[in-house]
Amino acid sequence: MGLGPGSSKMFANIGPWQLLIILVIVLAIFGTKRLSSLGSDLGKSVKGFRSAMTEAEEESDKISDSSDADFDNTPVDETSERKDA
């Protein structure tokens, strides 16, 4: 009984009238005030999630930029200097 390849067939037959009936039932159960507060809370959650993702991407970019190797200023191997001298 898991979510297999045929599980999307269950929602394939839902039309606009069925969605409207579901919306009316949800409105009757929760009421308009509660639904509007749930909607605004959901919007705030999505906004917070997006800002956290943006901050994480910026932080990872800073880390990857600062961790690049600087091959122009590599120290000279002391053993090779002694062999040349």
More confident residue, 79 or 60: 60
Query: According to the model, what pLDDT value does residue 48 have?
Result: 95
pLDDT digits (tens, 9 = 90+) for 8-67: 676 678 888 998 999 899 888 888 888 888 889 999 999 999 999 999 898 888 877 665
Q: Which of 17-21, 72-76, 79-83 has the lowest mean pLDDT?
A: 79-83
Which pLDDT band holds residue 1 (cuts at 50, 70, 90)?
A: very low
Whether 7 shows a pLDDT value over 80: the answer reads no
- Amino acid 51 reads S
Is residue 38 within 8 A of residue 30, CB to CB? The reply is yes
